[in-house]
Amino acid sequence: MAASQASDRRAHAKAAANLVINDVVRLLKANSISIEESPLSPAASANLLDLLERGRITGRQGKEVLEEAFASGKMPETVVLEKGIEPPISDQGALERIIEEVITNNAKVVSDYRAGKTNALQYLISQVMKQTRGRAKADSVRTILITKLDEAPPA
Report the C-alpha gap between 128 and 137 in whole angstroms. Answer: 10
pLDDT of res. 153: 65
pLDDT, greater one: 86 or 31 = 31
Contact 39, 67 (CB under 8 A): no
Does the pLDDT of residue 4 top 60, yes or no?
no
The mean pLDDT value for 111-137 works out to 91
Write out pLDDT tens, residues 79-102.
Answer: 999 999 888 887 889 999 999 999
What's the CATH code, domain 92-150? 1.10.10.410
Query: Where do the domains of the chain lie?
Result: 3-83, 92-150
Against a cut of 0.75, is the pTM above it? Answer: no
pLDDT, greater one: 13 or 29 = 29
Alpha-carbon 83 to chain mean position:
17
31: DSSP letter: T
Q: How far is CA 69 from CA 13, 52, 100, 139, in A?
A: 21, 14, 36, 25
Report the C-alpha gap between 6 and 133 in whole angstroms. Answer: 35
